[in-house]
Amino acid sequence: MRDLGVGFQYLVQGQKWVARHGRQYGFGLIPGLITLVLYLAALTALAVWGPDFVAWCTPFADDWSSPWSGLFRGLLTAVLFALALLLSVVTFTAMTLLIGQPFYENLSEKVDRDVSPDGTAPESGLPFWRELWISARDSLRVVVRAALWGVLLFGLGFVPFVGQTVVPVIGFFVTGFFLTEELTAVALQRRRVEVRDRLRLLRSRRMLVWGFGTPLALAFLVPFVAVFLMPGAVAGATLMARDLLGEETTGGDDNDDHDGDNDGRSGGGPGGGHAPRPRPADPWTKPQVR
């Protein structure tokens, strides 16, 4: 349970970092604004035509007496829109990261340099076009996984009561997990960690992931909030990626938020109290550093 709080602290630390680096924050807003316009148009279309889609999917309810048919379809429409919002959170992040690849890559590198004991940041050594292709490919894989979960949860939404109460809650945790995967990918791709290894790494510390991603998923449902939180979310995910890989972290330029340790332990978590975690046994490629 402690990891839940630690994950949330990383989210807060990321927002504090971009608050201290205004230029990085300003550039990080541009991709989110572009993506927001596209997604608002899509959600508006769903709000207009969603009831017709639900009616088409439930012909068996045509002969139900009033008001049961309307109530049933109304609940399903609400579940459909809620799941669309959750799925949009995951795809919004993927699309924004893809559009803003140069901005967020640069931001993540600066965070690494700021908190690294030797002031260096891992780099993939790949050309930009190759990194962009890998990012798009991996994002598509994650979005497909998230979409499959969305279809499953939508199907469970037909179950009376459970579909309107338990399913949306599960949906937020699922969305928080995939949202965290997308955000940590910025830092982990530079370390040449493949998408399957990233997912395995995140599953090994689900509480940490949910502590970071689930509050962010809830916040992203508020209009325009996603745009303003994205730069800080990338920064916080970079700090969390260092913890996941057991990399030593110093206080950077915010010693109040990251206390260094003098007893040989890593300051991997917020406040510096985490001992280094061994890297997973997967044969990941060792990154270069500048």
Task: Tell me what pLDDT residue 273 has.
Answer: 41
Average pLDDT on 132-144 reads 73
**pLDDT tier, 263 (very low <50, low <70, confident <90, very high otherwise):** very low
Give the mean pLDDT of 120-133: 72
Beta strands in the chain, from DSSP E residues, in sequence order = 122-123, 288-289
Enumerate residues 6+ apart whose C-beta is below 8 A from 220. Answer: 89, 92, 179, 226, 229
- pLDDT bracket for residue 211 (50, 70, 90): very high
Residue 284's pLDDT is what? 38
Whole-angstrom distance, CA of residue 234 vs CA of residue 17: 10
Dihedral angle over CA of 31, 35, 40, 41, nearest 10: 130
Residue pair 122/112 in contact by the 8 Å Cβ criterion: yes
Q: Where does the pLDDT of residue 259 fall: very low under 50, low under 70, confident under 90, or very high at 90 and above?
A: very low
Most confident range, picked from 73-77, 87-91, 266-270: 73-77
Q: Is 262's pLDDT higher than 50?
A: no
Can you say whether residue 21 is alpha, beta or left, with left for phi > 0 and alpha for psi between -120 and 50 degrees? beta
Q: What is the pLDDT of residues 152-171, one digit of tens each?
A: 877 777 777 777 778 888 88
What band does 16 get if pLDDT is binned at 50, 70 and 90?
very high
Find out whether 1 and 227 touch, Cβ atoms under 8 Å.
no
Distance of CA 126 to the CA centre of its chain: 24
Rg (CA), the chain: 20
Pairing of strands 288-289, 122-123: antiparallel
Provide the residue type at 121 as one letter.
A
Q: Which tops the pLDDT comparison, 24 or 7? A: 7
Q: pTM of whole model > 0.85? A: no
Q: Answer whether the bond into residue 278 is a cis peptide, omega within 30°.
A: no
Q: Is 41 or 24 the better-scoring residue by pLDDT?
A: 41
Domain boundaries, the chain: 2-248
**Quick check: 238 and 111 in contact, CB under 8 A?**
yes
- In the numeric block, the tokens 């009376």 are attached to 160
| Whole-number Å distance between alpha carbons of 6 and 16 | 15
What is the chain's mean pLDDT, rounded? 78
Q: How confident is the model at residue 265 (pLDDT cuts 50, 70, 90)?
A: very low
What confidence category does residue 14 fall into, taking pLDDT thresholds of 50, 70 and 90? very high
For 239-260, what is the mean pLDDT? 69
